[in-house]
């Protein structure tokens, strides 16, 4: 196995750091509470730069994700980007950098290219984000286009989550590097019987932000339009093999009857015990209240307002509709699903059948899920203890039976393992064979 990609760390972090390509440590000083990454990605910190590594990398693969959290720094996106390239080293662009600004004030500039580090060629992404005087920087280094494409939607989504940034967490108040992160308890959460009544429930809407391209070499993207209930084709022009852009994407808001709010579904589904998540992912939790024909959401220092159109539709302060979706409890699926942005012949597939059986072909749960989704054995606890071989076996595909209850997909393998993850059917789709299914926040497409 390759022993990491240390070259850029000398410049970015100020110290040489040999990072194994696969680390199962589940603890690190968390300087970026806003960062949306799977829980089993290992993290370490060098001079306030976070180094993240996927928790499911196969032997021989390498990928590093470097995050420099927002800091006060004068400048502009163009100069920020050029400085980030200088800090990276030799750089050959694949395409011209993309730069766009969002209505909330955040601006992004990012580009994909090829870099040479210590005699090895890497596919690399360099990105910068700016909000006024605050600047954040990101670098991704992958040993192949295939490795890059496999994780592209994850790290691009994480870069976009900088919009959730409220204030930096100082090293003095951050958790200790050596402090273990406990996994959420493996027990069901008794969902409030009032959930789904009135304004409470799960809403899906379209946000605009940094996202991965819809497919390798694709010049078009399918975007859901809540107002029509249909997917519409958006022309992106000719895209290189690896590309990111500012585009529309599905997002989820959860309104609990007691006034609790969450951005996105809990990791193990809405029917799980999410006390752990409320502690570890504070930035995603908040409160909501109704004031006349408005719904006010408060999340940290972030406030947003929705206008109530009816009990099933809210209009965001950007004029976009958010539609309440049904939990479809007890329903069955029928179809073979692959990740929307990774569908070549060798890509993993999830087969869901009307008789309640499932098949994980090619370790798709290892791709779209994380150790926290493996509840038997408890991956959140064991990933830091297993060897690489043990972890690969535990996270490998299999077959068995499944259930779908309250936006929670549970897979019970024949060998006794059990996966539990959030899932939902987007608006406009019908069962048993929806064209699109979202599992653990990842869009899957039926073939």
Q: Per residue, what are the HEC states of 82-116?
A: HHHHHHHCCCEECCCCEEEECCCCCEEEEEEEEEE
Q: Are residues 117 and 23 in the same domain?
A: yes
The sign of the dihedral angle between the CA atoms of 52, 58, 62, 63 is: negative
Residue 127 phi/psi, 5-degree rounding, is -140, 145
Peptide bond into 252 cis (omega under 30): no
Q: What is the mean pLDDT of residues 6-10?
A: 44
Q: Are residues 314 and 339 in the same domain?
A: no
Q: Are residues 224 and 320 in the same domain?
A: yes
Q: Are residues 148 and 275 in the same domain?
A: no
CATH of the domain at 376: 2.40.128.290
Q: Which residues contact 95 (CB under 8 A, 6 or more apart)?
A: 111, 112, 240, 243
Q: Give the integer Cα–Cα distance in Å for 207 and 196.
A: 22
According to the model, what pLDDT value does residue 359 have?
96
| 135 within some domain | yes
Is 0.75 topped by the overall pTM? no
**Given pLDDT bands bounded at 50, 70 and 90, which one contains residue 235?**
very low
DSSP labels, 35-79: ----TTSEEEEETTEEEEE-TTPPTT--EEEEEEEEEE----HHH
Q: Are residues 298 and 341 in the same domain?
A: no
Tokens of 97: 């950098």
Of 233, 423, 181, 421, the C-alpha closest to 326 is 423
Q: Which domain holds residue 113?
A: 7-164
47-63: pLDDT as tens digits: 678 888 887 665 556 88
pLDDT averaged over every residue in the chain: 75
Residue 320 CA neighbour count, 13 Å, CB half? 17
| 174 within some domain | no
Q: Give the integer Cα–Cα distance in Å for 338 and 326.
A: 23
| 387 within some domain | yes
Q: Are residues 286 and 390 in the same domain?
A: no
| 195 within some domain | no
Q: Is the pLDDT of residue 413 over 80?
A: yes
Position with higher pLDDT, 152 vs 228: 152
Weakest-pLDDT range from 187-191, 426-430, 432-436: 187-191
Q: Give the integer Cα–Cα distance in Å for 115 and 7.
A: 11
């Amino acid at each position: 196995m390759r022993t990491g990609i240390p070259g850029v760390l000398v410049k970015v972090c100020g110290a040489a750091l040999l990072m194994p390509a696969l680390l199962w440590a589940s603890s690190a000083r968390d300087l970026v509470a806003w960062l949306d990454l799977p829980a089993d990605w290992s993290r370490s910190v060098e001079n306030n730069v976070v180094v993240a590594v996927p928790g499911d990398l196969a032997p021989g693969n390498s990928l590093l994700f470097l995050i420099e959290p927002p800091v006060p720094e004068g400048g502009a996106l163009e100069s920020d980007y050029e400085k980030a390239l200088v800090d990276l080293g030799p750089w050959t662009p694949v395409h011209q950098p993309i730069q766009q600004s969002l209505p909330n004030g955040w601006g992004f500039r990012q580009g994909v290219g090829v870099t040479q580090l210590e005699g090895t060629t890497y596919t690399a992404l360099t990105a910068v984000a700016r909000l006024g005087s605050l600047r954040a920087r990101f670098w991704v280094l992958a040993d192949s286009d295939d490795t890059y494409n496999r994780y592209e939607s994850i790290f691009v989504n994480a870069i976009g989550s900088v919009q959730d940034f409220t204030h930096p967490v100082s090293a003095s108040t951050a958790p200790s590097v050596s402090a273990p992160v406990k996994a959420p308890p493996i027990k069901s959460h008794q969902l409030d019987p009032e959930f789904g009544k009135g304004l409470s429930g799960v809403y899906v809407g379209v946000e605009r932000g940094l996202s991965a391209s819809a497919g390798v070499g694709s010049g078009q993207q399918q975007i859901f339009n809540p107002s029509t209930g249909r997917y519409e084709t958006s022309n992106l022009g000719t895209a290189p093999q690896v590309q990111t852009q500012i585009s529309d994407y599905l997002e989820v808001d959860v309104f609990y009857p007691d006034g609790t709010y969450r951005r996105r579904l809990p990791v193990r589904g809405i029917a799980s015990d999410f006390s752990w998540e409320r502690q570890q992912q504070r930035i995603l939790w908040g409160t909501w209240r109704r004031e006349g024909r408005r719904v006010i959401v408060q999340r940290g220092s972030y406030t947003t307002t929705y206008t109530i159109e009816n009990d099933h539709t809210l209009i965001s302060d950007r004029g976009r509709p958010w539609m309440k979706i049904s939990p479809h409890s007890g329903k069955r699926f029928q179809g073979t699903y692959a990740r929307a942005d990774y569908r070549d012949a060798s890509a993993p597939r999830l087969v869901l059948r009307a008789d309640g059986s499932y098949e994980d072909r090619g370790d798709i749960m290892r791709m779209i899920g994380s150790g926290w989704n493996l509840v038997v054995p408890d991956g959140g606890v064991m990933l830091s203890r297993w060897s690489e071989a043990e972890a690969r076996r535990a996270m490998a595909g299999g077959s068995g039976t499944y259930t779908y209850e309250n936006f929670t997909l549970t897979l019970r393998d024949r060998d006794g393992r059990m996966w539990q993850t959030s899932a939902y059917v987007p608006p406009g789709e019908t069962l048993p064979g929806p064209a699109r299914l979202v599992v653990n926040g990842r869009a899957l497409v039926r073939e």
